[in-house]
Structure 1
């Protein structure tokens, strides 16, 4: 019996995401700011067998060191506009019964108490179908210029802050309210038993809190925890806390090495290594023939302008390619922004001109192109050779055109081959992702240690 995979859809509350191709003829993102646009997508993803809708976040936009932006950023909608993804979830949860939701929130931009309350509220409103994608925010220019931070935080220190952020969050989610503390007893006028609600005291390097968590325990208590990023600091953080990591590697050998490394790190923290799932993002283009699929991929790659490609790279890496000659390289460039992204374009020492030509084909994760059978073959081969647990299907054209061919033509094949369950998974995010019979954190997860009861 082949390993069954999980499926997520990789989106952002914006008209223009990873492929930078909102202007493609197949794109339909004009209604991106409206609830019906997302409700229709959620319904189709749920009917198509997806497990969750993943909502990325951007706290800023591509900007230069002086705060100015290339004209292409606004003209061609490169990482702007971006609306608040958390506001979508309750409306979508009321629209669909099974689909889960993963929402990105930054440990550098948010405050633990309010962030914890928001995710607890969404866990209640979704009946446990919520996950938090934990990020540390690469866009340091946005933090200083738009959010009032006084200085740029080095990469390693951002993960130190993130660790304290998570530990305080666990104190709130796991340690304040005991199971059974909420009585809702009208006869005695006792909503909660004070003896079973514990004061949380935290005085750390980055955060201070002394008081009670104001939200009652939700189905999962702690939302299911996702994380992206495979830098050394990111790996260490993931091994301790993450329940699912998504990667963007293309080489099967690198994918397999990342899967093995992440699970080994989880085991070193006393966790079950299989309680850390790894999924890869994948751009999927399906054609009725290989020739048609190749043509569709080429059309997609050719859609972004060079100017918008440079602006996208600026936003993802912090490096302004406009400041380099076309024949120079990035060999000696360093950044505190997208270290992993920059490294991908330093490999092989290409020129800036070559990088600009490659951005459309290189800034995404895996590229799966072909007939339905061929796409299914590529997916099956990847799972078999790497140990990956699933795929985060990327925004390509924009709107449901990104997923329609995959749902209609590839999913049925994956289901026939046993790579997808005959009936889509249900239950909380933690149950469906880990296969557990409980909504709560596994007992060997470090977050459980923060209970006071």
Structure 2
């Protein structure tokens, strides 16, 4: 039995047909084209809970990626994240049909006003008995911005200034608007709540004016578990201040280690502790009973992957139409106000020469792929853990097959080594991860606990 800490497991999915490994949906066994079916998601969630996964993690977008070869036909023709449904709508159904699985949903600061978003999350956290997580993103494409009335994409670092105010508002609502004990519900006296313990937040900022109070009483976690998924300098500073978990896509353990160490340094500078952030590495797996079988299955997977759509996907997050560039154009020559971390990831993956546009398509599906027997895969995951990774975001090629194989063949080996949990701990998803239902006092959201009392309001 290993003395290593537990690796956390998350299933990385999206309420669409073609999410990451484009073209794989055409494989005979693939069922992700049934994404409109509620039973599709409920049955997957039950399987993940059977395998003691910590989270089902829903990615999301609120618009098309930027043009590829001058337009958006490619996205529709190949099902590249269109159509795409709202994951928050099906979260309650998943919660009702599971007992322990954490449910992480992606929501951009662009797509919802913080007041209505805070209310939705509190409702889901109540409905799930405290199993909701929020992946905070800033939508690095033009079309989502225009869908919500903006003339174009907000500059990269300014989007994180926007995100800072957004989380400030929801923290005030979740942590400060209601004191403990405000909800009484005494049938004898008829007193339902204590107004002296419920407060308006009166937020006034650059983008938002929110009076309050929060309309939902405090949920089991108050604030959901906080994920973040940016590796740019601005993104890592934001994660250092706010995130409890960060989704990374480093090309190797060797590349992940300095990124994690530097982010931990930023966490400490932000007044928190190294270890307050758990790093989830995105990996996809090809599993065989022998290495030879695994390599054969990898070759079959390669045949089904649409490289051109892979380029279109990653290019769509760069702010540049890579479809018109020569495939040998160095990545370093591409300037963008969009998702710089994506191009950085490709550059890190290529060793000994400049990364090119061609590498975008070739490496997107390969660089984070782990191929081998369950024992070999367990060895490789230990290397990732040694680099500072605390969780694995399992990317699928097919649903449910990728997760069924991982649970049936890899999880037993990881469990035997003591690398993953044998059963769930009690309580909320945050308690399962950290031992506490609420954010620690050193998190910036905690500063709003008790901040809106009548005495403080009078002083202001």
Could you tell me which residue of structure 1 aligns to residue 233 of structure 2? 232
The Cα of 1:307 is off from its aligned counterpart by 3.2
The Cα of 1:66 is off from its aligned counterpart by 10
The Cα of 1:403 is off from its aligned counterpart by 1.1
TM-score (norm 2): 0.92
The Cα of 1:264 is off from its aligned counterpart by 2.2
Could you tell me which residue of structure 1 aligns to residue 408 of structure 2? 408
Residues 244 and 276 of structure 1 are in contact (CA less than 8 Å); yes or no, is this contact kept in structure 2? yes
Could you tell me which residue of structure 2 aligns to residue 90 of structure 1? 92
SS in 2 for 1:118: helix
Q: 2:66 aligns with which of 63, 66, 70?
A: 63
Q: How many residue pairs are counted as aligned between the two chains?
A: 444
Task: Extract unaligned runs of 5+ from structure 2.
Answer: 454-460
Residues 133 and 226 of structure 2 are in contact (CA less than 8 Å); yes or no, is this contact kept in structure 1? yes
Q: For the structure 1 residues 269 and 355, does the alpha-carbon distance in structure 2 shift closer, same or farther, using more than 3 Å as the test?
A: closer
The Cα of 1:67 is off from its aligned counterpart by 7.9
Q: For the structure 1 residues 221 and 53, does the alpha-carbon distance in structure 2 shift closer, same or farther, using more than 3 Å as the test?
A: same
Q: 1:24 aligns with which of 23, 27, 34?
A: 27
Could you tell me which residue of structure 1 aligns to residue 429 of structure 2? 429
Residues 65 and 141 of structure 1 are in contact (CA less than 8 Å); yes or no, is this contact kept in structure 2? no
Q: Deviations for 1:195-218, whole angstroms, at most 9, x for unmatched residues?
A: 111111111011111131111110
SS in 2 for 1:102: strand
C-alpha distance in structure 2 between counterparts of 1:82 and 1:254, whole Å: 32
Q: For the structure 1 residues 357 and 51, does the alpha-carbon distance in structure 2 shift closer, same or farther, using more than 3 Å as the test?
A: closer
Pairwise mapping of residues 156-167 of structure 1 onto structure 2 (< 5 A)?
Answer: 156-167=157-168
C-alpha distance in structure 2 between counterparts of 1:330 and 1:51, whole Å: 36
- Of stretches 256-265 and 9-18 in structure 1, the one that deviates more from structure 2 is 256-265
The Cα of 1:52 is off from its aligned counterpart by 0.9
C-alpha distance in structure 2 between counterparts of 1:358 and 1:386, whole Å: 21
The Cα of 1:298 is off from its aligned counterpart by 2.5
Pairwise mapping of residues 30-429 of structure 1 onto structure 2 (< 5 A)?
Answer: 30-64=33-67, 68-69=71-72, 71-144=73-146, 146-346=147-347, 348-362=353-367, 366-383=368-385, 385-396=386-397, 398-429=398-429
The Cα of 1:301 is off from its aligned counterpart by 2.6
The Cα of 1:305 is off from its aligned counterpart by 2.7
Q: For the structure 1 residues 357 and 221, does the alpha-carbon distance in structure 2 shift closer, same or farther, using more than 3 Å as the test?
A: closer
C-alpha distance in structure 2 between counterparts of 1:270 and 1:310, whole Å: 40
C-alpha distance in structure 2 between counterparts of 1:357 and 1:283, whole Å: 15
Q: For the structure 1 residues 180 and 89, does the alpha-carbon distance in structure 2 shift closer, same or farther, using more than 3 Å as the test?
A: same
Residues 302 and 360 of structure 1 are in contact (CA less than 8 Å); yes or no, is this contact kept in structure 2? no
CA RMSD, 1 decimal: 1.8
SS in 2 for 1:302: helix
SS in 2 for 1:226: strand
SS in 1 for 2:211: strand
Residues 321 and 352 of structure 1 are in contact (CA less than 8 Å); yes or no, is this contact kept in structure 2? yes
- Of stretches 18-27 and 168-177 in structure 1, the one that deviates more from structure 2 is 18-27
Q: For the structure 1 residues 378 and 72, does the alpha-carbon distance in structure 2 shift closer, same or farther, using more than 3 Å as the test?
A: same
Task: Extract unaligned runs of 5+ from structure 1.
Answer: none
Q: Deviations for 1:230-269, whole angstroms, at most 9, x for unmatched residues?
A: 1110111111111111111022122122222222222222
Q: Deviations for 1:21-51, whole angstroms, at most 9, x for unmatched residues?
A: 2112331223211110001100100001211
SS in 2 for 1:409: helix
